[in-house]
Amino acid sequence: MKYFVSFFLISTATFASVQSPNEEIKLCESTKEYITVYRYLDAQKAFALKKEDIMKLADNASKGCSGAARRFIEVNDLLVKASVETSDALKLAMKFTNKDDLVTNAFTTIFKETFLKEYLDLDLKDSIDFALKLSVESSGDPKRIKNDFQKIVKFCLEQSGLDLSGPKCSELAGKVATSGVKFQTEMSSSFLDHFNYLTDKAEADLPTYKALDLSLKLINAGPLSVNNFKDAYKFATSKTGLDLGKVEAINYAELMAQRSMSETKIETKK
Protein backbone atom coordinates (compact mmCIF):
# COMPACT_ATOMS: atom_id res chain seq x y z
CA MET A 1 0.00 0.00 0.00
CA LYS A 2 2.83 2.37 0.93
CA TYR A 3 4.50 1.54 -2.38
CA PHE A 4 1.31 2.33 -4.31
CA VAL A 5 0.86 5.68 -2.56
CA SER A 6 4.50 6.64 -3.16
CA PHE A 7 4.28 5.64 -6.82
CA PHE A 8 1.06 7.64 -7.22
CA LEU A 9 2.63 10.76 -5.71
CA ILE A 10 5.75 10.48 -7.86
CA SER A 11 3.68 9.91 -11.00
CA THR A 12 1.41 12.87 -10.22
CA ALA A 13 4.39 15.17 -9.64
CA THR A 14 6.01 14.02 -12.87
CA PHE A 15 2.92 14.62 -15.00
CA ALA A 16 2.24 17.96 -13.27
CA SER A 17 5.64 19.22 -14.38
CA VAL A 18 5.03 18.43 -18.04
CA GLN A 19 4.93 21.60 -20.13
CA SER A 20 1.50 22.80 -21.21
CA PRO A 21 1.01 23.11 -25.00
CA ASN A 22 0.25 26.81 -24.45
CA GLU A 23 3.45 27.52 -22.55
CA GLU A 24 6.77 28.60 -23.99
CA ILE A 25 9.97 27.86 -22.10
CA LYS A 26 12.73 30.47 -22.31
CA LEU A 27 16.23 29.85 -21.00
CA CYS A 28 17.46 32.83 -18.98
CA GLU A 29 20.93 34.08 -18.03
CA SER A 30 19.53 35.56 -14.83
CA THR A 31 22.85 36.07 -13.05
CA LYS A 32 24.32 37.90 -16.03
CA GLU A 33 21.29 40.22 -16.12
CA TYR A 34 21.54 40.90 -12.38
CA ILE A 35 25.27 41.68 -12.50
CA THR A 36 24.95 43.90 -15.59
CA VAL A 37 22.20 46.02 -14.04
CA TYR A 38 23.95 46.16 -10.67
CA ARG A 39 27.22 47.39 -12.16
CA TYR A 40 25.44 49.87 -14.43
CA LEU A 41 23.52 51.46 -11.56
CA ASP A 42 26.49 51.37 -9.20
CA ALA A 43 28.51 53.35 -11.75
CA GLN A 44 25.81 56.04 -12.10
CA LYS A 45 26.89 58.22 -9.17
CA ALA A 46 24.50 60.98 -10.26
CA PHE A 47 21.57 58.67 -9.45
CA ALA A 48 22.64 58.65 -5.77
CA LEU A 49 21.17 55.19 -5.18
CA LYS A 50 21.72 53.22 -1.99
CA LYS A 51 23.22 49.74 -2.26
CA GLU A 52 19.97 48.10 -1.18
CA ASP A 53 18.06 50.02 -3.86
CA ILE A 54 20.55 48.94 -6.52
CA MET A 55 20.23 45.34 -5.36
CA LYS A 56 16.43 45.51 -5.51
CA LEU A 57 16.44 46.96 -9.02
CA ALA A 58 18.98 44.39 -10.21
CA ASP A 59 16.90 41.62 -8.67
CA ASN A 60 13.73 42.78 -10.43
CA ALA A 61 15.53 43.12 -13.75
CA SER A 62 16.97 39.61 -13.51
CA LYS A 63 13.43 38.21 -13.61
CA GLY A 64 13.03 39.51 -17.15
CA CYS A 65 15.17 36.77 -18.70
CA SER A 66 17.96 37.24 -21.27
CA GLY A 67 18.28 40.75 -22.68
CA ALA A 68 16.50 42.34 -19.72
CA ALA A 69 19.55 44.35 -18.64
CA ARG A 70 20.18 45.67 -22.13
CA ARG A 71 16.56 46.75 -22.55
CA PHE A 72 16.51 48.36 -19.10
CA ILE A 73 19.71 50.31 -19.74
CA GLU A 74 18.67 51.40 -23.25
CA VAL A 75 15.34 52.83 -22.11
CA ASN A 76 16.73 54.37 -18.93
CA ASP A 77 19.59 56.11 -20.77
CA LEU A 78 17.12 57.49 -23.32
CA LEU A 79 14.76 58.84 -20.68
CA VAL A 80 17.50 60.33 -18.51
CA LYS A 81 18.93 62.07 -21.58
CA ALA A 82 15.45 63.53 -22.16
CA SER A 83 15.54 64.94 -18.60
CA VAL A 84 13.12 62.50 -17.00
CA GLU A 85 13.54 62.35 -13.20
CA THR A 86 15.80 59.46 -12.15
CA SER A 87 13.15 57.62 -10.13
CA ASP A 88 10.59 57.91 -12.94
CA ALA A 89 13.10 56.84 -15.57
CA LEU A 90 14.10 53.75 -13.57
CA LYS A 91 10.46 52.81 -13.01
CA LEU A 92 9.61 53.18 -16.70
CA ALA A 93 12.72 51.34 -17.85
CA MET A 94 11.84 48.40 -15.60
CA LYS A 95 8.64 47.89 -17.63
CA PHE A 96 10.76 46.67 -20.53
CA THR A 97 12.77 44.03 -18.69
CA ASN A 98 10.09 41.42 -19.31
CA LYS A 99 9.16 42.62 -22.82
CA ASP A 100 10.86 41.55 -26.03
CA ASP A 101 13.26 43.64 -28.10
CA LEU A 102 10.59 44.55 -30.67
CA VAL A 103 8.42 46.22 -28.03
CA THR A 104 11.44 48.09 -26.68
CA ASN A 105 12.45 49.22 -30.15
CA ALA A 106 8.91 50.41 -30.86
CA PHE A 107 8.91 52.48 -27.67
CA THR A 108 12.32 54.09 -28.19
CA THR A 109 11.62 54.88 -31.86
CA ILE A 110 8.16 56.34 -31.27
CA PHE A 111 9.36 58.31 -28.25
CA LYS A 112 12.20 59.87 -30.24
CA GLU A 113 9.97 60.79 -33.17
CA THR A 114 7.34 62.39 -30.97
CA PHE A 115 9.72 64.18 -28.60
CA LEU A 116 12.65 65.42 -30.71
CA LYS A 117 12.38 68.90 -32.23
CA GLU A 118 13.32 67.68 -35.70
CA TYR A 119 10.27 65.41 -35.65
CA LEU A 120 6.96 66.21 -33.88
CA ASP A 121 8.33 68.17 -30.89
CA LEU A 122 5.68 67.09 -28.36
CA ASP A 123 6.20 67.72 -24.66
CA LEU A 124 7.92 65.08 -22.54
CA LYS A 125 4.86 63.62 -20.81
CA ASP A 126 2.81 63.35 -24.00
CA SER A 127 5.73 61.71 -25.81
CA ILE A 128 6.17 59.09 -23.08
CA ASP A 129 2.44 58.38 -22.81
CA PHE A 130 2.09 58.08 -26.57
CA ALA A 131 5.10 55.76 -26.94
CA LEU A 132 3.86 53.53 -24.11
CA LYS A 133 0.39 53.34 -25.66
CA LEU A 134 1.81 52.11 -28.97
CA SER A 135 4.28 49.66 -27.45
CA VAL A 136 3.83 48.21 -23.96
CA GLU A 137 0.07 48.85 -23.85
CA SER A 138 -0.71 47.66 -27.37
CA SER A 139 -1.85 44.17 -28.33
CA GLY A 140 -0.64 44.60 -31.90
CA ASP A 141 2.60 43.57 -33.58
CA PRO A 142 5.16 46.14 -32.33
CA LYS A 143 7.21 46.09 -35.53
CA ARG A 144 4.19 46.80 -37.74
CA ILE A 145 2.99 49.55 -35.42
CA LYS A 146 6.42 51.17 -35.37
CA ASN A 147 6.74 50.99 -39.17
CA ASP A 148 3.28 52.48 -39.73
CA PHE A 149 3.96 55.25 -37.24
CA GLN A 150 7.26 56.19 -38.87
CA LYS A 151 5.78 56.27 -42.38
CA ILE A 152 2.99 58.62 -41.32
CA VAL A 153 5.38 60.91 -39.44
CA LYS A 154 7.53 61.09 -42.57
CA PHE A 155 4.38 61.87 -44.58
CA CYS A 156 3.50 64.69 -42.17
CA LEU A 157 6.95 66.23 -42.40
CA GLU A 158 7.46 65.89 -46.15
CA GLN A 159 4.01 66.20 -47.75
CA SER A 160 3.67 69.58 -49.42
CA GLY A 161 0.75 71.70 -48.21
CA LEU A 162 -0.23 69.35 -45.39
CA ASP A 163 0.70 71.71 -42.53
CA LEU A 164 -0.16 69.39 -39.62
CA SER A 165 1.02 70.34 -36.12
CA GLY A 166 3.00 67.86 -34.03
CA PRO A 167 -0.02 66.85 -31.90
CA LYS A 168 -2.23 66.47 -34.99
CA CYS A 169 0.37 64.36 -36.77
CA SER A 170 0.91 62.12 -33.74
CA GLU A 171 -2.85 61.61 -33.51
CA LEU A 172 -3.01 60.70 -37.20
CA ALA A 173 0.01 58.39 -36.99
CA GLY A 174 -1.41 56.67 -33.91
CA LYS A 175 -4.75 56.00 -35.59
CA VAL A 176 -3.13 54.59 -38.72
CA ALA A 177 -0.70 52.46 -36.70
CA THR A 178 -3.43 50.91 -34.55
CA SER A 179 -5.86 50.38 -37.45
CA GLY A 180 -3.78 47.46 -38.70
CA VAL A 181 -3.95 45.48 -35.45
CA LYS A 182 -7.17 43.63 -36.31
CA PHE A 183 -5.95 42.91 -39.84
CA GLN A 184 -2.47 41.83 -38.68
CA THR A 185 -0.85 43.95 -41.37
CA GLU A 186 0.65 47.41 -41.86
CA MET A 187 -1.93 49.98 -42.98
CA SER A 188 0.18 53.08 -43.69
CA SER A 189 0.57 52.20 -47.38
CA SER A 190 -3.21 51.77 -47.71
CA PHE A 191 -3.76 55.13 -46.01
CA LEU A 192 -1.30 56.88 -48.32
CA ASP A 193 -2.81 55.20 -51.40
CA HIS A 194 -6.24 56.45 -50.38
CA PHE A 195 -4.96 59.96 -49.67
CA ASN A 196 -3.06 60.25 -52.96
CA TYR A 197 -6.06 59.05 -54.96
CA LEU A 198 -8.51 61.28 -53.13
CA THR A 199 -6.36 64.39 -53.66
CA ASP A 200 -5.42 63.58 -57.27
CA LYS A 201 -6.89 66.31 -59.48
CA ALA A 202 -7.51 63.73 -62.20
CA GLU A 203 -9.50 61.56 -59.78
CA ALA A 204 -11.55 62.50 -56.69
CA ASP A 205 -9.76 65.86 -56.21
CA LEU A 206 -10.82 66.38 -52.59
CA PRO A 207 -9.44 69.11 -50.31
CA THR A 208 -6.63 67.90 -48.04
CA TYR A 209 -8.63 67.88 -44.80
CA LYS A 210 -11.47 65.88 -46.36
CA ALA A 211 -9.03 63.42 -47.92
CA LEU A 212 -7.34 62.86 -44.54
CA ASP A 213 -10.64 62.20 -42.77
CA LEU A 214 -11.96 59.87 -45.48
CA SER A 215 -8.66 57.98 -45.77
CA LEU A 216 -8.71 57.29 -42.02
CA LYS A 217 -12.30 56.12 -42.25
CA LEU A 218 -11.64 53.82 -45.21
CA ILE A 219 -8.62 51.99 -43.81
CA ASN A 220 -10.78 50.71 -40.98
CA ALA A 221 -12.36 48.46 -43.62
CA GLY A 222 -8.99 46.85 -44.33
CA PRO A 223 -6.35 46.83 -47.07
CA LEU A 224 -8.79 45.79 -49.83
CA SER A 225 -10.66 49.07 -49.34
CA VAL A 226 -8.11 50.78 -51.61
CA ASN A 227 -8.90 48.80 -54.76
CA ASN A 228 -12.60 48.63 -53.94
CA PHE A 229 -12.80 52.41 -53.64
CA LYS A 230 -10.84 53.05 -56.84
CA ASP A 231 -12.79 50.50 -58.89
CA ALA A 232 -16.10 51.78 -57.55
CA TYR A 233 -15.23 55.42 -58.23
CA LYS A 234 -14.14 54.67 -61.80
CA PHE A 235 -17.31 52.68 -62.45
CA ALA A 236 -19.48 55.38 -60.87
CA THR A 237 -18.00 58.19 -62.98
CA SER A 238 -17.79 56.23 -66.23
CA LYS A 239 -20.22 56.97 -69.06
CA THR A 240 -20.56 53.22 -69.51
CA GLY A 241 -21.07 52.75 -65.77
CA LEU A 242 -23.30 54.66 -63.36
CA ASP A 243 -22.41 58.05 -64.87
CA LEU A 244 -22.69 59.88 -61.54
CA GLY A 245 -21.43 63.28 -60.47
CA LYS A 246 -18.34 63.54 -58.27
CA VAL A 247 -20.13 63.78 -54.91
CA GLU A 248 -22.44 60.85 -55.66
CA ALA A 249 -19.55 58.82 -57.07
CA ILE A 250 -17.49 59.35 -53.90
CA ASN A 251 -20.44 58.33 -51.73
CA TYR A 252 -20.93 55.17 -53.80
CA ALA A 253 -17.22 54.33 -53.73
CA GLU A 254 -17.12 54.86 -49.97
CA LEU A 255 -20.07 52.50 -49.55
CA MET A 256 -18.35 49.79 -51.61
CA ALA A 257 -15.05 50.29 -49.79
CA GLN A 258 -16.77 49.93 -46.41
CA ARG A 259 -17.81 46.44 -47.51
CA SER A 260 -14.20 45.34 -47.93
CA MET A 261 -14.40 43.20 -44.82
CA SER A 262 -17.00 41.01 -43.18
CA GLU A 263 -16.96 40.14 -39.50
CA THR A 264 -18.48 36.76 -38.72
CA LYS A 265 -19.34 35.87 -35.16
CA ILE A 266 -18.20 32.36 -34.29
CA GLU A 267 -20.75 30.55 -32.16
CA THR A 268 -19.47 28.06 -29.63
CA LYS A 269 -21.38 24.88 -28.91
CA LYS A 270 -22.93 24.70 -25.47
Residue 19's pLDDT band (boundaries 50, 70, 90)? low
Extents of the domains making up the chain = 28-97, 187-260
Higher pLDDT, 16 or 211: 211
For 19-46, what is the mean pLDDT?
89
Give the DSSP per-residue string, the chain: -HHHHHHHHHHHHHHHTSPPTT-------HHHHHHHHHHHHHH-GGG---HHHHHHHHHHHHTT-TTHHHHHHHHHHHHHHTT--HHHHHHHHHTTTTS-HHHHHHHHHHHHHHHSTTTT---HHHHHHHHHHTTTT--S-HHHHHHHHHHHHHHHHHSTT----HHHHHHHHHHHHHHTTTTTS--HHHHHHHHHHHH-TTTT---HHHHHHHHHHHHTT-TTHHHHHHHHHHHHH-TTTT---HHHHHHHHHHHHHTS----PPPPP-
pLDDT given for residue 268 in this prediction: 56
pLDDT for 212-243, tens place per residue?
A: 999 999 999 999 999 999 999 999 999 999 99
Q: What is the pLDDT of residue 147?
A: 98
